Structure 1
């Protein structure tokens, strides 16, 4: 709760002395004015009766007293405000010495309160920026740790198998080919990770730009269905496309949007365990287009739903990457959707797991 500045005993004494001094000063001025006015009246008009003279003096006394009270009030307010300002300076200095971490909890007059409020806003913004910087540093540390882990694992295999060949620790050509094949596959894993990191960093960059063109979202989904048809058949899945209406014209970066749905479809193929269908649906609404990529595989655990778009997050417990994923696909998809001014969310139950994207039409 805000507290009002209170004057200490010394400050009250100063205020009282200044007020009394001001009052006495005006009393002296009052006596001089009354005396001079009386003399002037007597010299200029000797026939003025004494009742008229007293009435004039009373009128002058009243006016002077009103002026005294008014001016004394102004001086008292000025002194009080000056003392408030001095105390504010002391409080701000103490707050600055405390590294500007806590707002100033004080209530003063309206003109000075704006200064206090501005100072508190400055402190609030500085604390917010400091927290953002702290989170950014933690995010960078986490990124370095995850990248180091994901690169070290395949790199260890590459060095190990090539080391066996280098030291001639093999029996025949078939064993050499086996070692080189494993090293090659592990090298591809590292390449995929590096490419994904580059793509993620590029889309996160503040200067990332979109190459906007007009296209048909329904046609894009049909093309994606054709591209993944063979892979889906190998996994015993069927891709089905539905668009309402049949043609949905909108603006967007087709390369980046293709990457978004490519990642979502690959995610459904790899992690939709037991799924038989993948549904690609698009619906045009008043000012947006809603695109859903869904599958009827095993649901995502509820505890994992809020983390699926995190960098390097994998729903499975181990990080062995049996599916070959880098943990960046959904994070990249989310960044690209947001770059288009849209949003993406996930829902999952026993019936379906759905990734739902909302895009503005233009």
Structure 2
């Protein structure tokens, strides 16, 4: 009996020692986690918690903490990217506003102060002032349109649209311009109606942006194409040109907010960098996507994919 009691006491002592060591180890590990987290927060580092442990609860907690740290790093990265983009946007808008406003103010000052100006000269200056004023208004309107799209204030009315009819209407708007510029125009549209899911005003704006972009930046190639391809569940609308194209290093960035063609396509054309961003936001709000493929002086094509409707 005494022998059995002695064994039980020894087992109890060993168990307590194991539990004590386990608690001590657990306390040490929790202390490490606390101090490491404090360092990560205070020093804003991208470190993860690395700790070897046999405790399954500590392991589980470490996994979740590291997931949280990774998520936090992504948020910080996105915030920094957006902040940099916004700074560049404001810088570009300031530059793009300053140039025409300087011309406007200069010409108005000339009209007010130079008494020797002829009526013909004054009318010529006022015509330039009008053109520059329209440029300013267009830039401001584009900026506010993008702000509305990204804030969710601009809601699209999605319905069934005959994309062939809309495409024909838009390309006809550019008929005179294309003829005067001696462009070769290749149009490949199905004869029968093809219906997609979208907002008609938004689709028209997207096509206007892409066609005007092709005319402006692809003018060296003297060619423009508009093609519709039908898949089982989608419809692709391709607008192409044969101009200078877009470098492979930059083509994934042309849809970024304020990523201008000064950075990517042609230093002679310095746009505000809003047109393609607005285009992408409109397409995405309609549940579609937009992509770019470019081989300089062969084919630069923007392809909009929208959901097909069969009825």
| TM range, smaller chain | 0.7 to 0.9
Question: 2:161, 2:199 within 8 Å by CA — same for their partners in 1?
Answer: no
The aligned residue for residue 231 of structure 1 is: 177
State the SS of the aligned residue for 1:266.
Answer: helix
Question: 1:236, 1:276 within 8 Å by CA — same for their partners in 2?
Answer: yes
Partner residue of 2:267 out of 282, 304, 317: 317
1:134 aligns with 2:80: yes
The aligned residue for residue 51 of structure 2 is: 106
1:359 aligns with 2:306: yes
CA distance in 1 between counterparts of 2:238 and 2:144 reads: 26
State the SS of the aligned residue for 1:214.
Answer: strand
Question: 1:219, 1:247 within 8 Å by CA — same for their partners in 2?
Answer: yes
CA distance in 1 between counterparts of 2:287 and 2:187 reads: 24
1:308-345, Cα deviation, whole Å (9 max, x unpaired): 323251122145x5xxx543212211221222232212
1:212-252, Cα deviation, whole Å (9 max, x unpaired): 11111122212222222122112112444323573222211
For structure 1, the 5+ residue unaligned runs are: 1-33, 36-60
Higher relative contact order (CA 8 A, sep 6+): 2
- CA apart distance, 1:159: 0.9
The aligned residue for residue 336 of structure 1 is: 282
Question: 1:91, 1:104 within 8 Å by CA — same for their partners in 2?
Answer: no
Question: 2:33, 2:49 within 8 Å by CA — same for their partners in 1?
Answer: yes
> Are residues 199 and 305 of structure 1, via their aligned partners in 2, closer, same or farther at CA, if it must alter by over 3 Å?
same
State the SS of the aligned residue for 2:219.
Answer: coil
The aligned residue for residue 242 of structure 2 is: 296
The aligned residue for residue 156 of structure 2 is: 210
1:115 aligns with 2:61: yes
> Are residues 89 and 302 of structure 1, via their aligned partners in 2, closer, same or farther at CA, if it must alter by over 3 Å?
closer
- CA apart distance, 1:188: 1.1
Question: 2:237, 2:304 within 8 Å by CA — same for their partners in 1?
Answer: yes
1:241 aligns with 2:187: yes
State the SS of the aligned residue for 2:189.
Answer: strand
Q: Which 4+ runs in 1 deviate beyond 6 A? A: none
Count of residue pairs the alignment pairs up: 299
For structure 2, the 5+ residue unaligned runs are: none
TM-score of the pair, normalised by structure 1: 0.75
CA distance in 2 between counterparts of 1:232 and 1:200 reads: 28
> Are residues 262 and 77 of structure 1, via their aligned partners in 2, closer, same or farther at CA, if it must alter by over 3 Å?
farther
Task: Choose 1 or 2 for highest CA Rg.
Answer: 1
> Are residues 210 and 135 of structure 1, via their aligned partners in 2, closer, same or farther at CA, if it must alter by over 3 Å?
same
